[in-house]
Structure 1
Amino acid sequence: MQPSRRPQEDPAGDVVRWAAFSCLLVPVVLVVYGTSFGGAAVATLGLAAVTAACRVLLRHSEQTERTGRNAARVLAEDRLTPAHRGRHSRSGAGTQRGCQVSGGMSPHD
């Protein structure tokens, strides 16, 4: 039997889970090493606030990244489609700017 894997990796979720674990572990270690319960509680609240702020920032970053990927995909699709050349576009051989092919002399000669 193979170990089950999550269908989609979530690195931000992993970071938040480890931070939450630390929020629980740090006060225990502080109390074991002689810090008062009040001091451990303050440390727990501080860590929880930092963890919550980091979670919000990570989720915002993920949304921005997804939006950026979607915009990049749309731009890539636009590049693949033929663009409208505007009202001054010309088609045909020899009609590029500066390349006038004329059989006779121009009026300015």
Structure 2
Amino acid sequence: MKRFLQISFLLMLFSSFSGASAIAQTKEAMNMTIAQEVIRLTPADLATFAYRGYFKSQGISGYGGLIQDHSSGKVSNKDIVQAAIAMHLLPDSTLNNRGYLNALDNQLREINLH
């Protein structure tokens, strides 16, 4: 919602200027804003980041601690996604993506087997 308001503001601001130059600048600004928001982090990448301890600052252990915490239910796939969201690696909507969450869970189990 915040991003939508920012883009709307940019459109209103640039619409007050006339000419093709202003329109081109508006489109460029919108594309840059949107590009900054879209980060593609696969469930496999996220599981690897978690395993390597990238979310320790978010209270998620790495390596053997992650495997143990995930196996015991202390850390869930949603916990890891929330940590990634907090670090601006994933959009908030990922928490509602069951396919992504299931794939992450499968990746974490796969790491546990190795």
**Bigger Rg, which one:** 1
Q: Normalized per residue, which structure has more helix?
A: 2
| Same structural fold, with TM-score higher than 0.5 when normalized by the shorter chain | no
If the TM-score is normalised by the length of the shorter chain, which range does it land in? Answer: 0.3 to 0.5
More contact order relative to length (CA 8 Å, sep ≥ 6): 2
Q: Provide TM-score, normalisation by structure 2.
A: 0.35
Q: Provide TM-score, normalisation by structure 1.
A: 0.36
